[in-house]
């Protein structure tokens, strides 16, 4: 949970709440409650945001509040294609000392979403849970492949689902073909690989099965910040709601995640997620159904 | 109809038969016969290829055979990502004087596929048909936007479906968003816009409707030459077979085209298309169904 300052071709925003855990919580709480949050924030984190999250069923006992330091801060600027961005500022602040503690009340959690963070901290959370969750989903990024590959490889052996983007899948596997990359990564631990391709959708691999979910074609992507985390929140939220971790249900969960991500990019930061209604979510999911459904007669 | 010499990261081939009309005919003839071909070839064009096409129901009365010049020749080299390529040689040869003549026996054709070629020649074929076909599909490329934009704009007013890739849609419309690009291009004439995104699939736009078809995730793309033309052939072949030009049936036609294109890239040139069976096509289409189908309960 953090603050971001974002510049896109459409405008810029001063400090706005962000952080992968924030987006995951906002997205997932539409489908399942409580969300048991683990994170760290500083003395600048707005009480109103915590209150908003609590009102959505997000428990914050696992959120450490540090009195004498500010929250993690990131500032970045997106290029015109919105697929690449430059980081302008990264202030670790409270994150430098983060040592996540799983509260006793969180024990027994059935679904664990590990947002993008140092792999050793992701591992620590898994190890603190006395009963292994029914499903563990891990998000990560190229940065950790460059500075903590050994830790990342270790935590990969402990999880069920890995989420990465296409270039990260290639980097992790050393394979250019995403089909081959997914096969190699499955040998590293996770049985399910989700490869996110931004505006080009997402692929889910498991054994020899593959599923493809498109991204909704949008007139404008206003701000892609948090889209991947929002996708993750919708994905695990749907699975936790239905308690069904079959491949068939993961396909549906990816559509739900894609729908949530399509809202996220409409406004700066989590602004759009804070306004979303159940009816809007249902309508958006129906748009995905319309987007890909076709009839064919194999005769 | 032409010859290509192709180099990819996986190997290279000497002169191999190519040309957009060749790929369209190979693909479409799996679904509907006869195919009434209009093209031009030189004194080097192999009799065995013509015989092969004829055995598949391709009529060649509209194929002009020039005795004293070789066929159009193109040579190119693909980069590692297979999405970009360098042209090494372009020898127009017979194509320099091509003036397509629609044979009397082709009059009354209901479905017209205009492969990628000089827009003025595409227009000429439309004008020679005394009864307007039920559906006219146009393929084009950035090259014609650069040297013959006025002709291209004129022919756009005469067709129903335009096929372009994503960068060409942006170039033609001046819009970066593909949704906005499709809207602008619809105002230029064609009511249906198909935007091909290579390994990222294809989009179909009509009014406010949009459909997305993925490309099949493949372990290796061996040679992408002709994939777009093969897609076009499968698309129009399905529509001509079913004689249904509704949006719903175009969605199915795009899946059929995508399936055919996924075969094309497996071997050099049209080699794979020359070996394909009905059972293989059905199985491949079923893979597309599996790739995108999901169940969701909006409650």
B223 CB burial (10 A radius; 0-12, 13-18, 19+): buried
The reply to whether residue A219 touches residue B177, judged by beta carbons under 8 angstroms, is yes
**Would you place residue B222 in the very low, low, confident or very high pLDDT band (cuts 50, 70, 90)?**
confident
Query: Of A210, A285, A292, which has the smallest distance from its Cβ to B212's Cβ?
Result: A292
Q: What is the pLDDT of residue A294?
A: 85
Q: What is the pLDDT of residue A293?
A: 86
Q: What is the pLDDT of residue B81?
A: 76
The reply to whether residue A252 touches residue B219, judged by beta carbons under 8 angstroms, is no
Helix/strand/coil percentages in chain A, nearest 5: 40, 25, 35
Q: What is the pLDDT of residue B298?
A: 62
The chain-wide mean pLDDT, for chain B, equals: 95
Query: Of A197, A282, A290, which has the smallest distance from its Cβ to B200's Cβ?
Result: A197
CA distance B37 to B24: 9
Any B CB within 8 A of A9 CB: no
Instruction: Enter the ipTM.
Output: 0.81
Q: What is the pLDDT of residue B82?
A: 77
Q: What is the pLDDT of residue A81?
A: 77
Residues of B in contact with A80 (CB under 8 A): 176
Any B CB within 8 A of A201 CB: yes
The reply to whether residue A212 touches residue B211, judged by beta carbons under 8 angstroms, is no
A54-58, B78-82, B107-111: which has the minimum mean pLDDT?
B78-82
Q: Comparing C-alpha atoms, which of B216, B200, B201 is closest to residue B287? A: B216
Tens of pLDDT, residue by residue over B12-69, are 999 999 999 999 999 999 999 999 999 999 999 999 999 999 999 999 999 999 999 9
The arithmetic mean of pLDDT across residues B108-112, rounded, is 98
**Would you place residue A220 in the very low, low, confident or very high pLDDT band (cuts 50, 70, 90)?**
confident
Q: What is the pLDDT of residue A18?
A: 97
The arithmetic mean of pLDDT across residues A10-33, rounded, is 96
Any A CB within 8 A of B275 CB: no
Any B CB within 8 A of A282 CB: yes
Q: What angle do the packed helices A227-242 and A247-264 form, to 10 degrees? A: 140
If DSSP codes are grouped into helix, strand and coil, which group holds residue B76? Answer: strand
pLDDT over threshold 60, residue B95:
yes
The arithmetic mean of pLDDT across residues B148-160, rounded, is 98
CA distance A198 to A260: 13
Q: What is the pLDDT of residue B174?
A: 96
pLDDT over threshold 80, residue B114:
yes
Tens of pLDDT, residue by residue over A117-135, are 999 999 999 999 999 999 9
Residues of B in contact with A290 (CB under 8 A): 209, 211
Strand blocks (E) in chain A: 2-8, 11-18, 35-41, 58-65, 72-78, 85-91, 111-114, 135-139, 161-165, 192-196, 202-206, 209-213
Any B CB within 8 A of A285 CB: yes
Q: What is the pLDDT of residue B140?
A: 96
Q: What is the pLDDT of residue B295?
A: 79
pLDDT over threshold 80, residue A284:
yes
The arithmetic mean of pLDDT across residues B220-237, rounded, is 94
Structure tokens at A97: 């000392």
Query: Of A200, A212, A293, which has the smallest distance from its Cβ to B291's Cβ?
Result: A212
The arithmetic mean of pLDDT across residues B81-86, rounded, is 82
The reply to whether residue B295 touches residue A248, judged by beta carbons under 8 angstroms, is yes
Tens of pLDDT, residue by residue over A230-240, are 999 999 999 99
The chain-wide mean pLDDT, for chain A, equals: 95
Q: What is the pLDDT of residue B84?
A: 82
**Which B positions 212-231 lie with beta carbon below 8 A of chain A?**
212-214, 217-220
Any B CB within 8 A of A176 CB: yes
Q: What is the pLDDT of residue A83?
A: 75
CA distance B12 to B6: 6
CA distance A276 to A273: 5
For every residue of A178-204, DSSP letters joined together read: HHHHHHHHHHTS-SEEEEE-GGG-EEE
Q: What is the pLDDT of residue B209?
A: 93
% chain A with pLDDT above 90? 90
Residue located via tokens 């970066």: B176
Q: What is the pLDDT of residue B299?
A: 52
E strand or H helix that includes residue B61:
strand B58-65
Q: CB of A203 within 8 A of CB of A215?
A: no
Q: What is the pLDDT of residue A299?
A: 52
The arithmetic mean of pLDDT across residues A131-156, rounded, is 97
pLDDT over threshold 70, residue B72:
yes
Angular region, B243: left φ>0, alpha ψ -120 to 50, beta rest = left
For the four alpha carbons of A108, A111, A116 and A118, in that order, the dihedral sign comes to positive
Residues of A in contact with B80 (CB under 8 A): 176
Residues of B in contact with A211 (CB under 8 A): 290-292, 294
pLDDT over threshold 70, residue A298:
no
């Amino acid at each position: 949970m953090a603050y971001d300052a974002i510049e896109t071709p459409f405008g810029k925003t001063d400090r706005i709440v962000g952080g992968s855990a924030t987006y995951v919580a906002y997205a997932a709480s539409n489908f399942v409650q409580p969300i048991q949050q683990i994170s760290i924030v500083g003395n600048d984190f707005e009480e109103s945001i915590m209150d908003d999250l609590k009102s959505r069923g997000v428990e914050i006992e696992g959120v450490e509040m540090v009195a004498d330091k500010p929250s993690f801060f990131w500032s970045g600027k997106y290029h015109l294609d919105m697929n690449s961005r430059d980081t302008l500022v990264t202030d670790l602040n409270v994150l430098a000392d983060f040592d996540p503690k799983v509260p006793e009340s969180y024990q027994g959690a059935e679904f664990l979403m590990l947002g993008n963070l140092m792999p050793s901290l992701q591992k620590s959370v898994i190890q603190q849970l006395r009963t292994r969750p029914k499903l563990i989903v891990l998000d990560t990024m190229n940065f950790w492949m460059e500075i903590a590959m050994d830790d990342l490889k270790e935590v990969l052996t402990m999880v069920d689902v890995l989420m990465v983007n296409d270039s990260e899948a290639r980097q992790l596997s050393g394979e250019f073909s995403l089909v081959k990359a997914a096969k190699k990564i499955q040998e590293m631990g996770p049985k399910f690989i989700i490869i996110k391709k931004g505006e080009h959708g997402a692929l889910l691999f498991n054994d020899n099965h593959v599923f493809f979910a498109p991204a909704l074609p949008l007139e404008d992507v206003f701000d892609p910040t948090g889209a991947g985390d929002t996708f993750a929140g919708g994905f695990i939220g749907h699975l936790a709601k239905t308690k069904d971790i079959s491949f068939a249900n993961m396909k549906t969960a990816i559509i739900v995640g894609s729908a949530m991500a399509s809202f996220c990019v409409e406004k700066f930061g989590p602004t759009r997620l804070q306004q979303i209604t159940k009816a809007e979510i249902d309508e958006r999911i129906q748009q995905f159904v319309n987007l890909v459904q076709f009839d064919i007669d194999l005769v």
